[in-house]
Structure 1
Amino acid sequence: MNKIFAIAAVLCGLAISPPTFAEDGAKTVIKGQMSSQQGGASLFIEGFGLTQKGRTNYTNGSFIMETTFNEPTFCILTTTDPIVKGFNVYLKPGDDILITVKGNQVVLSGKGSKLNQFLFDIINKYNYKDKQYTAKEVYTNRVNAINASADAEVKLNKAALLGHAQGEYLDKVFGPYMESKVAGEVDEINKAKFDDFNLNLVPEIVSYYNWFKTINEIMYAKMEAGKLTVRNSNTWIADFAKTIGNQELREAYVVKLVDFALMEEDVFKVKNYAKEAMPLLKDPSNISKINAITGRVDKLTRYNNAVPGTDFSQATFLKPDGTKAKISDYKGRYILIDIWSTWCHPCVAEMPFLKKLEHEMEGKDVVFLSLNGDVKEEYWQNFMKKRNLTGNQIKMEKGLKDDPFFYQIGVTGIPRFAIIDKEGKMVNAKCCQRPSNPVLKVYLNELLSK
């Protein structure tokens, strides 16, 4: 009992203390009185990789976890408590929240508690794991609850809550499909079921870590449903952005996509993307950002030996039967080269998409070459048998590490795609549209129409 009173005294003392500021922000405290005596709690910032902001163990069912924040941040609080479990929290610098389990109820108190109690309640009432609701219904119910709330804190933070709710909704819809394009474990294309094409995207969605990737997936779905036309391979960012009604979000989306294109080193196209999208921008700061991004393109020099027009007709590779194949063997057809290895899960994930694209473009003057980069030929041969790979399968004789073709086009990570013209000359040594991206088909048809 004395320990409990001591902990209570500490908690009360912390609750009335003013926030202390450090170099990395204001002290923010989460405390708990759990239903279980032993266990632990952790706090993570949402992202492509979870960033841990705190971790602590229970002492007689209680814990205190201190961290710092510079700005309001959506986090994930996880606990081993069977009642609290884990939930999203929206923490502001200086918050001091106590989580108490009372019977089967979870009660939050202290600074920042009202907003997070609301979040806890709607997350548990409308849960994506609840089979009685579709993802769209969960999202709609949460949005309705946020809009209907009379709580002053909820009203004050409504825009942020709606943005996060939308980001989470799209992540629940597209997340597993996006992950499947990285894992590469199956031979099927497990498309996300999405028909919410009239979804009103809100600018606050940018607070969600993968916001632009899920918006891309909406655009791809619209393309495949015939609801969005991409004029050519240079206009896809502009064409996508035009469908976004909110000007603030439209501009943020353009800047993010152009920046991401440069990050992926889409060096032969990124200036064209920027040129086509620039008329959509009104904010001078965003125009400056685009100019700064395109200004960095020429500093990327690793592809200087494979600029458009470079002759690769004599590049030689190994066929499965041990004979040699040259690029010149495919003269008269455009070539999409897919560079992959058996150990590369994202490479394998693209295979069913490549097969689908090849089928859709059957009869056209384009050939699809799957160029393997394994060092040991047996790995390649065994993988082809295991996955029943057909089509044009070729291999770098010495693997990625020592292959002259790979060195000339610029050594990078894989999967990697390159396009060569009908004369064996390079068109694009760093094509960043993968087969899973419907813009690649637009690009190839555009080349074939010339």
Structure 2
Amino acid sequence: MEKVVKKFMLISLGLMLTTHALAVDGVKTVIKGTVNNRSIKVINIFKREMMRRPAASGIVKLNGQFQLTMDLKAAGFYLVSDSANKIKGFEMYLNPGDQISMEIVNDDFTLSGKGSVVNQLLYDLNRKYPYNESDPASHSQTYHHRIQAIQSSTVAEVIRKKSLLLGNAQGEYLNKVYGKLIESRVYPLMSSIMEVNFMDFDIRLLPEIVIYPNWSQLITEMMFSKMNAGRLKVHNINTWIADFGNLIENQRLKEDYVLAMLESSVSYGDFVSINEVIKVTLPLLKDQKKITRIKALKAKVAQRIGFYKNVMPGTDLSKYTFKDVNGNQVSISDFKGKLIYIDVWTTGCMPCMAEAPYLKRLEHEMQGEEIVFLSISCDSGAETWKKTLKSYKLDGGLQLLMNGYDDPFFEKIGKSAVPRFLILNREGKMLDYNSCKRPSNPLLKIYLTELVNKTK
């Protein structure tokens, strides 16, 4: 009996050690199979994130066989493709311990093994209902076809993961609608502004959409579309997060979104009115853990606000001078009596260039208002600056040049990343030292209109 007890204890200890090892090291996830295209040399698996990074690679042998092994800590979405883009890749949902066999014949995938059922569905949806990139108007129909297919499935594994699959499908749909628009604000299309015609306003946002990488940004873009269509009213600039959140029916998603937006505002240094914004949004929350996280943001603001200590609200910047395209000296004091919006940029900054056409449009829309828009470049060479102005058709408006990154003005505001947007009052004194509502953000016009009216 004693031997039996000892043996049982040893087995139990072994199981405990094994469980601990699996928790620390992750369970091996294996994808293996064959491919009939000899020009395909490597099969890759990428982690689905904003910045794509490889998770595993498998060399295709002469007989067409390959194998990829991963140590996954948690389940998630991945993208499978080949190194030469010979096959049309698709998204997979992988769990720790999945053992998937994959047969690739031409551009057709047949999956089997543990974890294959849901992934075969994802592949089939991608093939049967592909998004037509050249026909954005068809995206809504494609999305609803995919949703119907997921909801009507009688496969047990699909039913168990239905909520996750529906949330992922919704995120992918909104990314098809808004993804290129978001990208264009980082990699601009010269002097043009990309427009999106979104009409699927009755779509009910699902809490599982949060599994999609840029879910909160996609929801924000959808809310911008509702604003432009007159279906969403922002009461004032401090209520925008609450106004957007109130249109989200699901309480869990509403709270996730509000928290994500507040944390994003703090991370970008949008501090001037953050305490008021937090005050307005807190009543929307019921989850005490989220409420605690939001209240903790005030301490983060207090820690980081020191970076702007030289340009706090009320700081006088009226004495600073710059040169225009003709070499004439222009001072901030020249615009006394008007609100001043300043865009600090440089020609080598793609996001800066992406905002330029939006700023030009905003200046046109607010023509006649008591506000002036100054674009101040921190380039050190006038010729490159002038050439860029001409290339991007920015020769109109008040384009000014400081004396490079060592200019006293740039020193004063803190040598931060660009683009950087500042707002000065009618005396040339600081109102907002880091306006994170960029010209491409529809909220900026609301903000500036409020400031113009408030300072009359």
TM over 0.5: yes
The aligned residue for residue 224 of structure 2 is: 220
The aligned residue for residue 56 of structure 1 is: 58
The aligned residue for residue 36 of structure 2 is: 35
Taking a change above 3 Å as real, the CA distance of residues 381 and 282 of structure 1, as seen in their structure-2 partners, is same
The Cα of 1:199 is off from its aligned counterpart by 1.0
The Cα of 1:207 is off from its aligned counterpart by 0.4
Over residues 107-142 of structure 1, what are the superposed CA-to-partner deviations in whole Å (9 max), with x where a residue is unaligned? Answer: 111100111111111111001137688111111011
The aligned residue for residue 5 of structure 1 is: none
The aligned residue for residue 275 of structure 1 is: 279
What TM-score do the two structures reach when normalised by structure 1?
0.92
How many Å separate the matches in 2 of 1:315 and 1:83?
57
Map 1:9-408 → 2, pairs under 5 A: 21=22, 23-37=24-38, 38-59=40-61, 60-79=63-82, 85-101=88-104, 105-129=108-132, 134-300=138-304, 301-389=306-394, 390-396=396-402, 398-399=403-404, 401-408=405-412
Aligned partners of 2:190 and 2:392 also within 8 Å = no
Taking a change above 3 Å as real, the CA distance of residues 102 and 357 of structure 1, as seen in their structure-2 partners, is closer
Q: Structure 2 stretches of 5 or more lacking a match?
A: 1-18
Aligned partners of 1:20 and 1:27 also within 8 Å = no
Over residues 18-67 of structure 1, what are the superposed CA-to-partner deviations in whole Å (9 max), with x where a residue is unaligned? Answer: 99826342211111211124511111111110121101110120111000
Over residues 156-213 of structure 1, what are the superposed CA-to-partner deviations in whole Å (9 max), with x where a residue is unaligned? Answer: 0011101110111011110111111111232121111211111110000000000011
Letter in 2 for 1:328: S
The Cα of 1:407 is off from its aligned counterpart by 1.9
How many Å separate the matches in 1 of 2:350 and 2:134?
31
Aligned partners of 1:83 and 1:106 also within 8 Å = no
Q: Structure 1 stretches of 5 or more lacking a match?
A: 1-17
The Cα of 1:352 is off from its aligned counterpart by 1.1
Taking a change above 3 Å as real, the CA distance of residues 104 and 247 of structure 1, as seen in their structure-2 partners, is closer
Aligned partners of 2:344 and 2:419 also within 8 Å = yes
Letter in 1 for 2:383: E
Consecutive aligned runs of 4 or more in structure 1 exceeding 4 Å deviation: 80-84, 102-105, 130-133
How many Å separate the matches in 2 of 1:80 and 1:262?
39
Aligned partners of 1:316 and 1:327 also within 8 Å = yes
The Cα of 1:68 is off from its aligned counterpart by 1.7
The Cα of 1:226 is off from its aligned counterpart by 1.2
Aligned partners of 2:132 and 2:138 also within 8 Å = no
How many Å separate the matches in 1 of 2:30 and 2:129?
27
How many Å separate the matches in 2 of 1:334 and 1:432?
17
Letter in 2 for 1:40: V
The Cα of 1:225 is off from its aligned counterpart by 1.2
Letter in 1 for 2:186: V
Over residues 286-339 of structure 1, what are the superposed CA-to-partner deviations in whole Å (9 max), with x where a residue is unaligned? Answer: 001101222210111110111111111111111111121111100000000011
| Greater mean alpha carbon deviation, residues 27-36 or residues 139-148 | 27-36
Aligned partners of 2:87 and 2:106 also within 8 Å = no
The Cα of 1:103 is off from its aligned counterpart by 7.6
CA RMSD, 1 decimal: 1.9
How many Å separate the matches in 1 of 2:44 and 2:215?
24
